[in-house]
Each structure stands twice: as C-alpha cells, then as structure tokens.
Chains A and B, each alone.
Chain A
Amino acid sequence: MIVGPMLDEWYPVGIFGQLDEAGRKTMLMGEPIVVARNGNGDARVTDSTGRSLPVRVRYGHVWTSLGDPQKELFAIPEADQPGRRFVDVGVVRVRCSPLRAVENFLDIAHFPFVHTDILGAEPHTEVQAYKVEIREDVDEVWATQVQFYQPQAAKSASGGITTQYMYRVAGPTSTVLYKTCPPKPSEWDVITLFVQPLTEDLCDVWPWMALFDDDTPMTDLIHFQQTIFLQDRSILENQVPRLLPLDPGMEMPTRADLTSVAYRRWLKRHNFTYGAQLVAQ
C-alpha cells in the first residue's frame, strides 16, 4: 500500500504522561515505531531503522510523522485556557479504517440508536439543517449550527438538553468536537478524537477532552467517554466495506450526512487515501 501524502501528516502515538524510558512499541501506517521518554524527560520516537522521527507533545499526547510535515500540528486554543480540566481518556483499539473512526465521530444521526438515552433518544431522531464548509484559510472541515436533543449530553448534565455542536476536522485522522458546556453556557466543551492509523484497517483511538467541570471525578469523566466510544466500536468493527468509500457507490448519503461528505471530499482533494476505498464495489 502506498501511503501517499498522508505520510507527511501528524499522528498521535501515545499519552505523554505514560511514557517511560523502555518505550512503547507500536505501529504507524504499517511501520513499527518505538515511543519513549529519554533521559531528559523528552519524548522520542524512532522507526524500525532507529531513525528519529519528528515529535510534538501537545494535548496530552505525543505526535509524530513518518514523513516531513509541511504544516505545524493544528492548534486547539482551548488547551491553553485557564480553568479547564484536561482528560487523557486512554486508548481504544478498533479493527476499522482510521478514516472510518473519524467519520463515525462526525455522524450525529446515530446518537439515538447507538448511544440510546445518553447522547440521543427516540423520538428525537431528526438531524436539523446545519452548515458545513471546507475553510480554505485553515484547510479544515467545519460543521456549525449543529443541534441535537440529548438526554445526558455530558457527565455534568443533570437532564435532557438541546445540545449545540461544532465539528472540526483538523487533520486526516484528527477531529475536534465543540459542544454545549452545561455548567458554563458561554463556553464550549472540547472533545477530540485523535486516531493513530496502525494499518489501513486497524487503529488506536485516543480521545482527549478539555472541559469546564470541577465536580465530576476524573475516573467518571474517563468512564463516561469510554462508555460512549465502546458503544461505537461494535458498530465500527462491523461496517462494510471496511475501508472508507470515497465514491459513495452503494451508499445513499442524505443531507444529514453532509459533514461526512465534506470530510470525504477533503480527503479526496488532498489524496489522503490511506484507509480509503477509491472505487465503489
């Protein structure tokens, strides 16, 4: 498999706080790598030949690239905002295309059916019209004015509310969700999905959050998000085809799928095809 332009992008490969000098053996797009902390306490990533790869430590995670990134790692300004709690949720291994994992995160319509009585509930299944665009200035996909009724939008929510959402695709396997912050309505909670492509149909998913929530114990915050993602995993691992189709083929996308369509268009424009199916089958 030719990795193509995705080679030069940034990917998460571990939680910085969990690194040790022995290192974590893992993979990035089929290439064995080791992620370790050196004697100075800095993160170091090496490939199978011992070559040092570029490294960034941001948003609780270590980021690297097998190629030569032409862009700096994307910014999340909320990561520097005082008063937020930063939550390294951990890792979930999913036997699916890394692009499928991102696409599933962007899909609102599945909430009532997969995350029943948490992120959605019947009969509130309608996805209201929202705006989607590829922002040329930052080269990102944005969906705004998204709203959905949720029985329990966050661990800090005490009842059902109509939740406002913004979705952002900041990298081929990195996506950021901004949603109504129940205890602080003037701010957005930030929930991300950082996906490490192990192979074209296997990935490690590293959710991370930046929340205004002083009350909920950290373990409960982590457990809440892991519960959501484990519900997604069973769906993701049974999707057919396993790779993300860039030609809709047998699928019949609707207006509710416009974020997914914009994401696929953006992948197609950049020739980001690792984990994608190019021709409908």
Chain B
Amino acid sequence: MTKIKKMFKYDNVGILFVLPAFLYMIVFVGYPIIYNFILSFQDVTVKTLRKDIKEFIGFRNYIELFQQDNVLTLSLWNTLVFTVACIVFQFIIGFALALLFNKKFSFSKPVRGLLMMPWMIPITITGLIFKFMFSTDVGIINYFLRSFGIISENIDWLTNTVTAMPAVIFANIWIGIPFNMILIATGLTTIPAEIYESASIDGAGKIQAFWNITVPLLRPTIESVLILGFIYTFKVYDLVYVMTSGGPVNATQVLSTYSYKLSFEMFKYSKGAAVANILFIILFFVSLLYLKYVYTEEEA
C-alpha cells in the first residue's frame, strides 16, 4: 500500500509523459519565436538567405518601419479598427442570440446547433463566399441593396478603398457570432432561475433584471469573451488575405498580411519578421492579461 501511495506522491515521473510534447513545441514553436527575434535584428533578404554569417543591424528594421514606412502605422491602425468593429458587432449579436436560445422552445437546441456552422467553415472558404457575395456585378449584396432601393448604382465593395474594410469586417462578424453566442449561452446557464423569480416578485421588470442581474453575474464570461475575441480577431490573416490581400492600396492591410507581404512577396525576411514581432508583442501582453484574469477568477 505504501508503495502505491508513493506512486502518487510528488515525483518527477510525470515529466516523462510531458516531455515528448514539450520538446516538440520547443522545436516548432519556442525556437522559431526566438529565431524570429534574431531575424528581426538582422538583414536577411532573398540574397543573404544562404549566407552562413548574417549581419546584425540592431533596431534598424524597426526604426525604418516606423519612420520611413507609413504602411506599418496604417496596418497597425487598420488592425485595431478591424478588431474593435468586429468585436462590438459580434458581441452584441451573439449576446442577443444567446438570450434568445436560453428560452425554452421547441427548436432551441437544433437551431442553436446549426448556427455553429459559420465558425467551423475553413476561413479560406468563408473569404471566397463573401468575395463572391460582395462582388460588383454578380454580388447578391448589391442586388439586395438595389432591390430595397438603398443604392442605385452597384458598389465596388472590395476594390474601393472606402468600402473594402467594412466588407471584410462584415465577413468576420459572420464568423465570430457563433463563438460569442455559445460562450455567452454557456455563461447564462450558470445563473440560477430563482434569482430572477425573487427579482420579479420584488417588482423588477425584464429590462431591470437584465441590467441588475444578468450583466453583473455574467461579468466574468463577458470579460473573457471580449479578451479572447480581441486575441483571435487581432491576429486575423486568412480572411483578409483571401478577400483583398490587404488592398486596394493597403486599405485593408493588417499586421499579419503586411508581415506576409514583406517576407513572401518582397522577400525582405527580416522586415517581415519585425512586423510579425510587433504583432506578437501586442498579443503576448493581452494574453498575459487574459491568463492572469482567468487564474485569479479560478482562485477566487
């Protein structure tokens, strides 16, 4: 018996189970992150890629990106606009749907299940679908807007610098709604019905109950949905790349697409790495905030 008890005691056998996965992640994630930092302080282009010794140039890539290249600041701004706009809409719509599906009615479960579909579709395909729907002549969106008399001329959604960003945001909201809905719906089920019953006995209306009971009790869920939404939206890549590739004239250029463009279209690997690093650093701090938040919630 003592031997068996000992098997559960503090010991280092557990690490043998973890080691293979840990080493894998060191090789394919940990090392590349460090390598990416090193790259961003070097001057590696397609010409110097095969050289054994690469020149170290300090912060020059970053300085050049911030001072001479207004595409970087534009991409940073675009990423922020994209993220905030997406989160606001997908959160509000997701919340409304979660409230709806929290009611008990015959179709509640199956319909809620089907609504998860948009989240599962490969993003390349979502990009293709919306590129088709937003296209100028065949696009169904222009057709609807014309039939309702909202516009009289077709809009060049994806090739116009003003409308491209709203179109891409629209597509991303479609992806994000199920995610927000399901997490908020799960949070809602944790609020006991008795609280609402006693509130209604005390004469609270539905709107009062929403603001005074639902929102405060749901706060942990709301906060983690918003921070996670920020992280997932801020690193957007596929959708923008498929729909506009960052164009027209950088109107939808976000950090990830700009990094890709520098590395794999202009073959300035170090510059691309530097932009990716800026994205990484921002997300790293937001993730820290999120993790700190989740852990303090769990301990409380």
Our verdict on whether A and B bind, yes or no, reads no
B interface residues, Cβ below 8 angstroms from A:
none
A interface residues, Cβ below 8 angstroms from B:
none
